[in-house]
Structure 1
């Protein structure tokens, strides 16, 4: 089980497959350099960045799905730990940011669905809602996508959110390119969540 969680009352968590750019998103959100690597599965424990004065933190949870050099048993344990973490701290989590790779998410989801499996991304989106954490979908690496609207509509469709995606702008769907610092759509979604939670004191983190 993940240990050493700072005692903070408000939290934003990042979840997603390995290698979708979660750590890069985290770096943009916090201004701190986070371990990133070309190999999936670099993050094996939660990375917390916390602020005592605001009683708040951002948490980057380990990636799920394929991880380079990680045995299936260990991978499954990490996934179980992620689920338990989200269940245990759901009341403190203001937003669960599901990070997807805009360039490959649809193909990966379809490949798993074609094999009769529930794709991890779809499962995680539903699970966040189940435990009372309204998800934000940060669709990363949009610089590699040719037809943005078509891709985002397809992602909405796979997640069971009705397209067109524009109706979820500023609330649930955030097309970004973290590597280039193009994060405003995600900041907008987080501002909405902070405001709804009556935590306008946190708006400075996403301005």
Structure 2
């Protein structure tokens, strides 16, 4: 089980496959550079970023799914730790941000579905909602996608959200973290914080 979580009463947690840009996204929100790498699986334990005097932290959970050079047993152990962390802290997690690669996510989901498996991204989305954590899917790397609306509609379909995607702006946020284009995610987070009467935390997502 992960250790070292700051003693904070509220958090926003980022979760997703390896190499989808979670750490880059954390840098956009905090201005702090976290350990990243082209090789998937660099982050093996959570990165937390909190502020002195604020009862709040951002958490970047390790990547799950396939990681080149990482044994399947280790991958499964990491995923189990992620699930346990989310369950244990579900009362403190105000929003769960599931980060996906906008260019690859549909192919990955369909490939697993064709094998009769529940795709990790779909499983994590429904798990977050089952434990009653408001969930935003940050669809990253959208600067590399040409058929934007079609791709986002397809993702909503795979997640069980009836299209068109535009009616789910508090759930689906198309972004490009590397280019600093994350306003749709900021707006979705603001919506969820306001709904939970946590206007005191809006400063951290703006």
- Normalised by the size of structure 1, how large is the TM-score? 0.98
Runs in 1 of length 4+ with deviation above 6 angstroms? none
2:191 corresponds to: 192
Residues 8, 52 of structure 1: 8 Å contact kept: no
Is 48-57 or 99-108 further displaced after alignment?
A: 48-57
CA contact (8 A) 1:18 1:63 kept: yes
Q: Which runs of 5+ in 2 are unaligned?
A: none
Correspondence for 2:141: 141
Shift of 1:29: 1.2
Does residue 131 of the first structure (1) align with residue 131 of the second (2)?
yes
User: Is 1:103–1:142's contact at 8 Å kept on the other side of the alignment?
Assistant: yes
Correspondence for 2:43: 43
Q: How far off is 1:52 after superposition?
A: 3.6
2:156 paired with 1:156: yes
Cα distance per residue 1:136-162 (max 9 Å; x no partner): 000000000001100000000001111
**1:164-175 residue pairs with structure 2 within 5 A?**
164-169=164-169, 171-175=170-174
| Deviations, residues 109-153 of structure 1 (Å, cap 9, x unaligned) | 000000000000000000001111121000000000001100000
Which position in structure 2 is the counterpart of 1:205? 204
Tell me whether 1:78 sits opposite 2:78 in the alignment. yes
Any conservation in 2 of the 1:54–1:201 contact (CA below 8 Å)?
A: no
Shift of 1:193: 1.1
2:177 corresponds to? 178
Rounded to whole Å, the distance in 2 between the matches of 1:53 and 1:154 is 42
CA distance in 2, matches of 1:35, 1:54: 24
CA drift at 1:165:
0.5
- Count of residues in Structure 1 that have an aligned counterpart in Structure 2: 206
- Structure 1: gaps (5+ residues): none
CA distance in 2, matches of 1:76, 1:192: 33
Cα distance in 2, alignment partners of residues 23 and 160 from structure 1 = 27
| 1:99–1:140 CA contact under 8 A, matched in 2 | yes
The 3-state SS of whatever aligns with 1:90 is coil
Deviations 1:92-114 (A, max 9, x none): 00000000000000000000000
What is the deviation of 1:54? 2.1
Q: Measure, in 2, the Cα distance between the counterparts of 1:62 and 1:68.
A: 15
Q: 2:16 maps to which residue?
A: 16
Post-superposition CA distance 1:51-108 (Å, at most 9, x none): 2422000000000001122111111110000000000000000000000000000000
Q: Could you say what secondary structure the match of 1:91 adopts?
A: coil
Distance in 2 (alpha carbons) for counterparts of 1:69 and 1:13: 26
